[in-house]
Amino acid sequence: MTRISFYVLKSIEPEQRQAFACRLAEKVYHQGQQVYIHTENAAQSAALNDALWAIRPDSFVPHEEIVPNADNNSPVLIGHNEATPPRLMDVLINLTDQQPLFFSQFERVAEIIDDNAPVKQAGRERFQFYKQRGYELDTFHI
């Protein structure tokens, strides 16, 4: 069964959520797992793509935005909308305000919540959704 982890940040800056998502993707990639980062829209996907290129000068995380009808072979993929990832992957990092319909195909889901009121409220609703369905939940305060 999918394990859900909530990472609660003290910041209200959207850039901090993005930076944490990048660090988490880097860590998971270096553990040999494949990551799908689910964003709200094309602009957020592009911003995350740029952020992963600049994560750290001494690190490289091979990644790409999902392109329809392309190979999309990178171990870290970035996408938006409700389209499922092009292949089975290990970890889903969700940066949207709802749980994606395809979340249960992943071994692990990372929900990144910050101190912004709408983000926190949406996070609470997702927490309840997962809890009511019996998923194993972890919460980490960062």
Task: Give the structural domain span for 62.
Answer: 3-141
- Max CA distance (Å), the chain: 42
Rounded to 5 degrees, φ, ψ at 3 are: -100, 130
Look at the chain and report how many structural domains it folds into.
1
Q: What is the dihedral of CA 103, 106, 108, 114, to 10 degrees?
A: -30
Please tell me whether residue 15 adopts helix, strand or coil conformation.
helix
Amino acid at 60: F
Rounded CA gap, 56 and 43, in Å? Answer: 22
* pLDDT in single tens digits along all 142 residues of the chain: 899 999 999 998 888 999 999 999 999 999 999 999 999 999 999 999 999 988 877 888 999 999 877 788 899 999 998 778 888 999 999 999 999 999 999 999 999 999 999 999 999 999 999 999 999 999 999 8
What CATH number did the domain enclosing 104 receive? 3.40.50.10110
pLDDT of residue 84: 80
Q: pTM (2 decimals)?
A: 0.94
